[in-house]
Amino acid sequence: MNKKTTESWHHKRHDRFFKFFYNPVKWFAKMKDGFTLDKESKTIDGPALIISNHLTTYDPINLELAAKEVIYLVASDDLFNKKLAGWFLKTFFNPIPKSKSVSDIKCVKTILKVLKEGYKVALFPEGNRSYTGTLSNVDKSIAKLAKVAKVPIIVYNMEGGFAVDPRWGYKHRKGEVHCTLRNVIEKDEVLSLSTDELYDKIIEYLTVSPYTYSIGKKNKKIAEYVERALYYCPNCDSFETINSHIDKVFCFKCGYELKYNHDMTFTLINGERNINTVDEWYNIQRRKIESFDPFLSDKIIYEDYGVTLYSVVRFRKRKPIIKKGHLMMTNKEIIIEGQHKKTVIPIDSIRESCVVLKNKANFYVEEYLYQLQGRVRFCSLKYVQLVHHIKNIKNGTSCEGEFLGL
């Protein structure tokens, strides 16, 4: 019999490591993010699915602190590509690896195996950190998984993270992050509800306001680097013209300018289009993409300089193919040109794409994974959203409200 198939996912060292570091990590989270926790955060014994909205880099750690016991997190396999970090995670946490935005049957089988062994599995149903603080797209597969697993669902809410660590931001800000136990959907209810009813309940419990907490007054550079998320100017109808500096966001084409406030609202300084929040701006941008026809011209739609193209081997390493190249995208292909090399990725060959961490883009092409990483202000989101939009058009689906990669 194959040893790997019978070996338990759990190891005693996971318990020892958790008990030894729980209080020091909790103290660190409080010092770093002003993290606080509901007193009643730990709920039920036995196997369960733990889910939460996803706002900050440290949400996985905060979720573990909330559970107050060893849990097994579903994590992006991108985390395992660095040898030392991958070894550390595997040895002491043994997270369940998953390829972002692609169907991963092996991941599902591992989740069911861990639950069957009697342990809790935690995941973020959005699959990505939110750019706006509001709930991103949640695939219905989370409800299907819960019904197959036949275990309770524990729902936590992370609040304050959009003020402390927005996905588009560069550095942590001083503020407060609070983890609340929102609800427990018991096993009997999971099984009695239809998939659609269970999905609606999950969405209801995951939804929180990003404006409950504000950015600490001592923080100054609170608008940098919002152009990782916002790349469309609603004032002059232009793409790739947004920039930020300290607490200002502006369009370098038309002079449109807003101030980003500590309550995470905008104040109009120059221009005609008044926008209140990042979420409002993001949705205006999304509607613009949905109405945009990329096939009116074969010219370059987006371009960036200083972008590195990597070839990624799962669980091993990523190898640079072109360093600091010229990245261009048309309605047919993504082109990366270096000094002595050129790589062309036809859009029709991309089976899936997604944003990784703050400003990387993954493109799954047949058995290959290509990753783009640019300079600090690089917006990978625009490339992923345009790829999804083009594929939606070619597939004959209605572009309005369709999935655009987040």
Q: What is the mean pLDDT of residues 220-228?
A: 97
Cβ neighbours of residue 214 under 8 Å, at least 6 residues apart? 163, 175, 262, 263, 264
C-alpha torsion 52→55→60→66, nearest 10: -60
Q: Which amino acid is at 14?
A: H
Q: What is the 3-state secondary structure (H, E, C) of 268-293?
A: EEECCCCCCCHHHHHHHHHHHHHHCC
Helices within 177-308 (DSSP H only)? 187-192, 195-206, 278-291
Q: How far apart are the first and last CA of the chain?
A: 41
* CA–CA gap between residue 194 and residue 336 (Å, rounded): 47
> Cα 258 to the chain's mean position, in Å?
26
Each residue's pLDDT tens digit, 63-108:
999 999 999 999 877 777 677 777 888 888 999 988 765 667 889 9
At residue 396, the pLDDT reads 86
Each residue's pLDDT tens digit, 19-38:
999 999 999 999 888 899 98
* Percent of the chain residues past pLDDT 70, beyond the cut: 96
The yes-or-no verdict on residue 375 having pLDDT over 80 is yes
At residue 3, the pLDDT reads 43
> Cα 131 to the chain's mean position, in Å?
8
* CA–CA gap between residue 20 and residue 23 (Å, rounded): 8
Q: What is the mean pLDDT of residues 247-255?
A: 98
Tokens matching residue 241: 């013209």
Domains of the chain (ranges, CATH numbers): 3-206 (no CATH), 226-291 (no CATH), 302-394 (2.30.29.30)
- Which of 186, 159, 205 has its CA nearest to residue 49? 186
